[in-house]
Amino acid sequence: MFATKRKSITILLGLMLMSLWLAACGNNNNKAEPSTSGSTASQPASASASASAPATERKLTDGLGHEVTIPANPQRIIASYLEDYLVALGVKPVAQWTVANGIQDYLQGTLKGIPTIPYDLPFEAVMSFQPDLLIIGPNSTVEGGKYEQYAKIAPTFVLGDDTVNDWRKALLKIGEVLNKSDEAQKVLDAYEQKAADAKAKIQAALPNQSVAAIWLVQNSFFVVSDKQSSGDVLYNDLGFKVPAVVKEISAKGTGNWNPISLEKLADLDADHLILINSDKGTGSAALNDPIWKTIKAVKNGHVYEYPSSSSWLYYGPVASSQMIDNVLNDIVKK
């Protein structure tokens, strides 16, 4: 499920810290156990070059203007919180992102068993995996002289805020870095076709219907922005109407997910409500409040609940595709 957009990623990471800590305390038997072992425990896949482009060392300019020498065929890649793109391109990193002992569960069909590395990429931890390429998302990760330290460990390519905040741009750029531009374009084209087909089904089955995505964590509610994260999938890719309350909060908010009071939720006129429930393991007390039961979609039985381990809290080609599957299976039911 990563300036204003930079703040949104900071807020999301902070909330993820709460959410995933709670999830770790609950029933997470389907999660891969985070590993504290060194780099030898992993079996990374090669980021081999496209068949049409022989593997050669290349120089590319990253989002911060650094000229980076990309290895011909990197084998030990760290791309923390960018693993969605690697999975889409058929590449396994040498280590995967973690926060508070939580991982991106929705990617574990591919990444299960890959050791974890803390989200803030401590230098010692990075060094322990002996990477031959670092791909970093936002500018803030390398501020304060950190870029120079990472660059001493391995070639370091920073996507930059403008790119990392748009998953399509990020996918194509990472494809370029890994000499997999053709594969990246195919992934993007396949997604666009899937989204277009799904949008047609939605408009045929549920014309002019509205939806909102709500996140419950530590007894507080957050609503997704109308232009970011899963909101971009729902409103832009799939064509659902944006409820007035979502528009209002998105206009004032600065994050992917913005706080919303239970009283404000009572005014939410969405036909359908997607609920990401991080409080499942602690009883979801907020859902027993009488106000919750007055919400239009709740009264009509149009609430679709997903755990925090689902893809709804993330953003990328894999996460977005899984969201579309959820909508078709659970809301459209076809």
- Give residue-wise pLDDT tens across range 233-264: 999 999 999 999 999 999 999 889 999 999 99
CATH topology of domain 186-332: Rossmann fold (3.40.50)
In CATH terms, are 32-179 and 186-332 the same topology?
yes
Question: What is the secondary structure of 46-58 as a DSSP string?
Answer: P-PPPTTS----E
Q: Name the CA dihedral angle for 322, 326, 328, 333, rounded to a multiple of 10 degrees.
A: 150
What is the rounded CA–CA span in Å between residue 13 and residue 9?
6
What is the rounded CA–CA span in Å between residue 127 and residue 152?
10
- How does the average pLDDT of the chain come out, rounded? 87
Three-state helix/strand/coil letters over 281-334 = HHCCHHHHCCCHHHCHHHHCCCEEEEECCCHHHCCCHHHHHHHHHHHHHHHHCC
- Give residue-wise pLDDT tens across range 176-202: 999 999 999 999 999 999 999 999 999
Output the pTM of the full model.
0.84
Domain boundaries, the chain: 32-179, 186-332
For the domain spanning 32-179, the CATH number is: 3.40.50.1980
Tell me, what amino acid is at 41? A
- Give residue-wise pLDDT tens across range 98-111: 998 789 999 999 99
What is the rounded CA–CA span in Å between residue 16 and residue 11?
8
Could you give phi then psi for residue 225, rounded to 5 degrees?
Answer: -65, 155
- Give residue-wise pLDDT tens across range 151-166: 999 999 999 999 999 9
> Which candidate, 186, 229, 317, 243, places its Cα nearest to that of 8?
229
